[in-house]
Amino acid sequence: MSIQTVATKPFPGQRPGTSGLRKKVSVFRQPSYLENFVQSVFDTLGDCAGKTLVLGGDGRYHNREAVQTILHMAAAHGFAKVLVGQGGILSTPAVSCVIRKHGALGGIVLSASHNPGGPDGDFGIKYNIAAGGPAPESVTEAIFHRTESISRYRISDAPAIDIDRIATSRIEQMDVEVIDPVADYAELMQRLFDFDAIKALFGSGFRMCFDGMHAVSGPYAKAILEGMLGAPAGTVINAVPLEDFGGHHPDPNPVNAAQLIAIMAEDDAPDFGAASDGDGDRNMIVGRKFEVTPSDSLAVLAANAAVAPGYRAGLKGIARSMPTSRAADRVAEALGIPCYETPTGWKFFGTLLDAGKATLCGEESYGTGSDHIREKDGLWAVLFWLNLLAVTGKSVQQLVDEHWARFGRNYYSRHDYEAVASEAANELMASLRIKLPTLAGRDLGHYVVDFADDFEYTDPVDGSVATQQGIRIVMTNGSRIVFRLSGTGTEGATLRVYLERYEADPTYHHLLTQQALAALILIAEQVGGITGWTGRARPTVIT
């Protein structure tokens, strides 16, 4: 066994986005492609001697091969130990948990989150820092610049090691400790939530359906819900992680989690339904014949946080991404705590959490979390809801209806136009920016524009500035339209159009969402010229 230095050349386009580097599997399988990026990460980190690294992923196609490559490169860079999830599996929240618990230098997450998997699907890699969260832009930009000039990488030529057995082995001078992927995470959840109350809930005949979507959350949900909390066998469906997620799109929304939605729409549906995504950091909450939006979920949990032992001391603040509805803002106002509006991307919550300015965070893209780790956390949100249901004895719909009666309802929807030609999507956004100065005060039929801008964020902790984070058209009554291009896809561009209408009168709290937003949908088309620019008569997905 020896450490090899291999000559290489840069690959174009290895800039990590908000969620790391995501490309098609075929791109990552090119000789030296993954190695170049990993070498650039290690070069950016500097001296790794004696340090601990955490490694794991969502089990998608190419995960196991990538784990072996990274282990052998870590050994060539002097790491003392790598903690790797059994079978190469670690959910993204679990990676953050393990980094923080074991004082690691950081971790490498192998995932493309909610994107499709399989040989023709997507793959991804990102680096998480010692706090447990995604690397800040200063680090990801340094990694990118290194990928542009890389000329060699270092790797051990030792044989592949067994990652399926919980044990410790060695590559060169480095210990490889294969760990139970669930244990540390489950221990943390047990400290945050009242497991005895949730056990009693299941013991009372309460029924639940959790859809693991053949993704990474399945083993976590089986171990915690069915194992520790006593939910009946079969509560967790699609529980076994598959390299192609069973041919499905592992995104927990009503479109892609259609099986769960159908189950929860039956006359004899379970009391509670939930789903999580490819890498376990997103969640969808469903009651009997009742879907909860992510924005409402964040607001309801914030308003009722004291039911959970880990949050009885109170919340320091709430943070939400700019496109997420303002439902949480009204809760923060009632609690007398700040509500921070950030760009999309969990890393923007990191500085607020580290500084003790926020306790709960949420994004409209089915992501919710807190200061317990530095990633959004799907199963955490599900356990929070279970704790709330156990303490109150109310149904999901009762809790949400009561919340709306107290705070008002923020009707909310996201219209996604996927795989739009990048040039056309960028031109649409450019045309909107040109229109911004002319929109304030305009009468658009049912609404008058209060202001329109391109969202810019100055971090209240470190002073960093993020510009062009989404175009906002805000009406005088608080309703909003937001246009934004997403960076999580691997083909073309995804245009996201967010629509929000606030309704205080409970008489109007049970309209169909798209009906309630119809006037705003029409205005978005008229102002943005979506059909003309994209060639699409309707969105790809509506959530």
Residues taking part in catalysis:
113
Q: Is the distance from CB of 375 to CB of 281 less than 8 angstroms? A: yes
Cα 148 from Cα 480, distance rounded (Å): 40
Give the SS3 label for residue 490: coil
Residue type, 460: P
Is the distance from CB of 8 to CB of 35 less than 8 angstroms? Answer: yes
Question: Is 419:536 a contact under the CB 8 Å cutoff?
Answer: no
| Whole-angstrom distance, CA of residue 421 vs CA of residue 534 | 7
**In the structure encoding, which two tokens stand for residue 78, read together?**
């002097």
Q: Within 13 Å, how many C-alpha atoms sit on residue 498's CB side?
A: 27
Residue closest to 132 by CA, chosen among 370, 373, 461, 362: 373
Q: In the numeric block, which tokens belong to residue 407?
A: 């705070």
CA angle (136, 142, 143) in 5-degree steps? 90
Cα(329)–Cα(338) distance, rounded to whole angstroms?
Answer: 8
- Is 498 within 8 Å of 480 (Cβ atoms)? yes
User: CB of 412 within 8 A of CB of 293?
Assistant: yes
